[in-house]
Every structure is written in C-alpha cells, then in structure tokens.
Amino acid sequence: MEKFRKQLTQRLIIHIFISLILIIFIILKINNILLPNGTSTFAKTYDIVTGLMTTGISLFYIRQTLIYQKALRSDITLKKLYNFENDERRNLINIKSGNPIILICSSIILLAAIVSSFVNATVFYTLISCAVFLVIVSNALKIYLSKKY
Amino acid sequence: MKSKIRELRKQHRLSQEELAQKVGTTRQTITSIETEKYIASLVLAYKIARYFDLKIEDIFDFSEMEDEHGKI
C-alpha cells in the first residue's frame, strides 16, 4: 500500500501542475492575451473547441486531484481507491470497451482538428465528429459491458 | 458459474462491501460473481477461498465443466 501511496502522491503533483497550466491558459485566453480572437480562419468554432477541451480537461484533473487528496488523508479511502483501480472486472470492461486506446486516439484527433481549423472547415468538422463518435461508442460499450458482467 | 459466496457471506455476517474490501476488489465484482454474471479470476477465487479458509472447489461449482466421468 505504501508503494501505491507514493504513486498517488506523484500523480497528485502532476495533476496539480497540469491543472495550473490549464487554468493559466484559460485566464490568458479569456483576457485575449494568448491566441487572440481571429487567429484561426474559423475563430468561433476553434474557440468553442479549445474552450470545451481545456475546461473539460481541467475539470477532470481538478476532480482527480480532489479524489487523490481525500484518499491520501484516510487509509480506508486509500484502500478503496486501490481496490477500485485494480479491480479485475473493471479492467476487463475497460479493455473490452477499448480504453485507454480510444481516449488517446480521440485526443489526438481533437488536437489534429484544432490544427486543421486554421486550414479547412470541412476537415475540422469531420475530425471533431470522428472524435466524438469514438468517445460515444466507447462509453456505450462500457455501459453495455457493465450490465453484461 | 455457481458459487457459495452468498451463503458463506451470510454465515460470516459479512456485507458484499466488507467482503470486497477483505479480498481486494469492489462490491460490484462480488455482486456479479454472486449473480453468475462474471467468473472470478484464479487469483480472486484463491483470495476468496483463503478468506473463508476453504478450497476453491468448495466455493465454486465446476460440475458444469465436467463430463459424466467427472473429467474436464
């Protein structure tokens, strides 16, 4: 359990660091300092996607940070988190629903979509649809498999 | 696969959550094993058997896998 505690502390530091970077990015973007409006050909959609992505990712990291902090304070919660993360049924469902490969792929596709927003609107919309579709399929599979097993 | 986990749990007055904590898994996994939706891995089966101080075959019913001569 001590090994897991150390691992969790390391993860916590990384999460806080990423959350801070994202929050700084959001503040800079809101104040129009970084990537000012009109940088992209499709500025509006580009702003929506980057906004949703950064806010979503930062909310995810903040949530994880709170979970890890709570687990590090209490041994019972730490054991529960360890059991949850190493649960064989959960791991099986994750593997069968294509996690984490699908998540990685859709993140890469989203990044590619942001880059493509500087060039072509059609490519941008196609890539965004593709990434969203992948995430929906993965989550639908996860729900189905959770009921099955 | 049929198992005697539910009976053993009741004998030991354990909730699913408590048993899950003891054998290092989640309540949902114990529920799935009890309702025969999920077959436990060898490691988890061993942990459960060890906890109740029994053999794996005393808890899990392998008769479905055996033929009329009792062979797998």
Interface predicted TM-score (ipTM) of this complex, two decimals: 0.84
Is the pLDDT at A116 greater than 90? The verdict is: no
Is the pLDDT at A24 greater than 90? The verdict is: no
Q: Which of B24, B38, B43 sits opposite A83 (nearest CB)?
A: B24
What value does the mean pLDDT take over residues B41-54? 94
| Chain A residues contacting B via beta carbons under 8 Å | 79-80, 82-84, 86-90, 148-149
- Pick the residue with more confidence: B66 or A40? B66
Which residue is closest to B41 within chain A, CA to CA? A88
Cα distance between residue A79 and residue A72, in whole Å: 10
**Residue B72 banded pLDDT, cuts 50, 70, 90:** low
What value does the mean pLDDT take over residues A83-97? 93
What value does the mean pLDDT take over residues A67-89? 91
Q: Which of B25, B32, B37 sits opposite A83 (nearest CB)?
A: B25
Q: Are A99 and A142 in contact (CB under 8 A)?
A: yes
Cα distance between residue B42 and residue A101, in whole Å: 27
Is the pLDDT at B18 greater than 80? The verdict is: yes
Q: Are A50 and A29 in contact (CB under 8 A)?
A: yes
What is the number of H-type helices and E-type strands within chain A? 6, 0
Q: B15, B17, B19, B25: best mutation site toward chain A, by most A Cβ within 10 Å?
A: B25
Q: Report the gap between the CA of A111 and the closest CA in chain B (Å).
A: 35
What value does the mean pLDDT take over residues B6-25? 94
Is the pLDDT at A40 greater than 70? The verdict is: no
Q: Do B44 and A79 touch (CB under 8 A)?
A: no
Q: Are A80 and B27 in contact (CB under 8 A)?
A: no
Share of residues in chain A with pLDDT > 90 (%): 42
Residues of B in contact with A79 (CB under 8 A): 21
pTM above 0.80, yes or no: no
Q: Do B32 and A149 touch (CB under 8 A)?
A: yes
What value does the mean pLDDT take over residues B19-46? 94
Q: Report the gap between the CA of A58 and the closest CA in chain B (Å).
A: 28
Share of residues in chain A with pLDDT > 70 (%): 90
Cα distance between residue B52 and residue A143, in whole Å: 32
